[in-house]
Chains A and B, each alone.
Chain A
Amino acid sequence: MIRWGVLLAGLLALPFAMGEYYINLTSQIFIFAIFVSSINLLLGYGGLPTLGHASYLGVAAYACALLYLKAGASHFVAALLALLGTTLMAAIFGLIALRAAGLGFLMLTLALSQVLWGTAYRWVAMTDGDNGVRGLTRPAPFGLNLDNATTFYFCALAVAVAAVWLMARFVGSPFGAVLRGTRDQPRRMAALGHHVWLVRWTVFIYAGFWGAVSGLLFVYYHKYIHPVSLSLTNSAEGLLAVIAGGSGTLGGPLLGAAIVMLLKNYVSGYVERWNMLMGIVFVVIVVFMPEGVVPGVQRLWRRFRSTI
């Protein structure tokens, strides 16, 4: 609890100590952290390896931008409909993907998200294809000027804190205990009278909802959306952050989100080879420290110490 308080105090103080570049970078980390935490709900707590979570981020972002720009909806209506629509889509996708578990689930989520990605690329009349959708402005809820970097920072921080707190409540509840039960022993949970499928479907929709929330913040931050946000690369980045931080813990994915985001920003500042680096980091983490970077490095360090 104290650690969380220190973290929050540090984040609240950050905009007064850092320049605008770091304020914006940290805002992006908040947005990504919500996305990563929602993947963690599925992978870490539900044991459901999803490779299509970018769908929810991307569809919410596209829906919000298109409703605002093409249908002339107000900011509030566009955001609300985007959230509702994306959550509904998660419910439908869940019906399909949860016909299988394990690898079948992974393949189905991947196939579904690739369909959306391909559609965003090809449906030029609607999405403008490879050019992406631009022109969305940031809303001004309660008269706050979100175009200001610091104001946007605090807004993103507030949403991220709320999201992480609600997700923590979710996994800490009796339902969360049932969820972990279905991850470890689905048969026993079924024998105990729990409806395993319904539990998984519920968490699938809940995770889709938070994916949509991160999508809204994402599109408000960039004021632009491109099919790449729907791509396998984006889903994989989120999954990498979960595993790097340590799946099935609350703090791990937040740390993972920060690591991946910082790495991506610094690396793309120097070389263009982010994809290759991400692939290598993936392989290294999975092969050498599957439990996450922090425990993994500690373990490797201990082994290194004991050999010399």
Chain B
Amino acid sequence: MGGLLFLLAAGFSLIFGLMRIANLTHGGLFMLGAYLGVSVLKVVPNLWLAALAAGIAVAFLGGLLERFILRKLAGNVLSQVLVTLGFAFIIADLCLVVWGGDPIPVPTPSFLQRPVLIAGLAFPAYRLAVVVIAILVGVSLYFLMEKTRLGAMIRAGVDDRDMARAVGIPVSRLFTTVFCLGAALAGAGGVIGGPIMSAYPGLDSDMLPLALIVVILGGVGSLVGAFVGAFITGFVYTFGVARFPDLAYVVLFLPMILVIAFRPKGLFGRFAA
């Protein structure tokens, strides 16, 4: 669960950190990815290829959204949020039209179906694989951000957009890149989450608050924050569902209150939202 949340929240956090856009379509992109994955799996029975395909398709859609709509509203933060909200409704309803209202299960890859024994405890192999994927994605994102030229430019844009622009960094092209990257993570995350969550209408509104809580917890624009926040939220959520199934959502929300009360920037955030 934590790994899955990281895939979702990392993209959200990157977009928010660089562009100051709270992308409320993010839950919708996650759900769209899950459904696209279902369709791809009917043709190509390989989950990882499906995740790749859905990621690319969703990234493409995200790019269009950024280039043709959000770009026009640059500088008006509230309008941008409202447009992403509008698209969240459109995507949710389109998924309902195309894939219907019944939940569609996504099969777990056969070699990951058996539980794995670690130190005498049995773990479902697929969930471990998701954690491994999240760590891999996290590490590659970390290298991308810290060790490459592109990452350095993105970090410069996060810290001071105007200054970055003044020294010749093509901030507007970066915006599109980051938006596509974030959307791709959400879309691929939807497919990878498929065997755990399955694809159902309402998946978007289940995931969006989780992404928000992770980002508020971890701090905006911080990868480490998204990682730590995702695993805290994942643990609390799983624990809450197991112990207090009725009130899982309330339990989920307690760490967020604590962090907001004592550190409004979030655990690893550099600035307040």
Interface of A toward B, CB cutoff 8 Å: 49, 51, 96, 99-100, 102-104, 106-108, 110-112, 114-119, 122-126, 231-233, 236, 239, 243, 273, 275-276, 278-283, 286-287, 290
Contacts and interface: CB of A to CB of B under 8 A. Distances in A.
Interface string B63-88: 00000010011001111011101111
13 contacts: A96-B257, A99-B260, A100-B273, A103-B273, A104-B272, A107-B216, A115-B250, A122-B245, A123-B246, A273-B97, A282-B83, A286-B83, A286-B86
B249 interface: yes
A107 B85 contact: no
Nearest to B16: A103
B182 to A, nearest CB: 16
A125 B246 contact: yes
A287 B73 contact: yes
Contacts of A115: 209, 249-250, 252-253
Contacts of A108: 216, 260
Contacts of A232: 205, 208
Contacts, number: 129
Contacts of B20: 103
Given A118-B209, A119-B249, A273-B93, A282 B82 contact: yes
Nearest to A236: B85
Contact of B209 (A104, A111, A286, A287): A111
A287 B72 contact: yes
A256 to B, nearest CB: 14
B89 A276 contact: yes
Contact of B212 (A107, A119, A279): A107
B16 to A, nearest CB: 8
Nearest to A43: B78
B205 A231 contact: yes
In the A-B complex, the 4 residue pairs with the smallest Cβ-Cβ separation, listed nearest first, are: A104-B273, A282-B86, A279-B89, A114-B209
Contacts of A119: 246-247, 249-250
B79 A290 contact: yes
A276 B249 contact: no
Contact of A99 (B69, B85, B246, B264): B264
A116 B24 CA distance: 18
A283 B87 contact: yes
A97 B235 CA distance: 24
B83 A287 contact: yes
A275 B78 CA distance: 21
B87 A286 contact: no
Interface string B92-109: 111001000000000000
B256 interface: yes
Interface string B237-273: 0000000011111101100110011001000000011
B116 interface: no
B212 A276 contact: no
A211 to B, nearest CB: 19
A228 to B, nearest CB: 11
A110 B209 contact: yes
B213 interface: yes
A99 B264 CA distance: 7
A197 B217 CA distance: 22
A123 B209 CA distance: 18
A69 to B, nearest CB: 18
A106 B261 contact: no
